[in-house]
Amino acid sequence: MELVSGGDLFVHFTQDPIFIENRAKFYGAEICLTLGYLHERNIIYRDLKLENLLLDADGHIKIPDFGLCKEHISYHSTTGTFYGTPEYTNPKVLEKDN
Per the rule left: phi > 0, alpha: psi between -120 and 50, beta: everything else, 59 is left
pLDDT range class, residue 80, cuts 50, 70, 90:
confident
Contact 44, 79 (CB under 8 A): yes
Residue 76 is classified by DSSP as T
The fold adopted by the segment(s) 9-97 is Transferase(Phosphotransferase); domain 1 (1.10.510)
Query: What's the mean pLDDT when you consider all of the chain?
Result: 86
Backbone angles phi, psi at 15, to 5 degrees: -75, -35
Residue from 8, 16, 47, 65 carrying the catalytic annotation: 47
- The question of whether 65 is a catalytic residue gets the answer no
pLDDT in tens, 33-54: 999 999 999 998 888 899 999 9
* pTM of the complete model: 0.78
CB atoms under 10 Å from CB of 6, counted, come to 16
Instruction: Give the residue with greater pLDDT, 12 vs 73.
Output: 12
Helix ranges (DSSP H) in the chain: 9-15, 21-40, 91-97
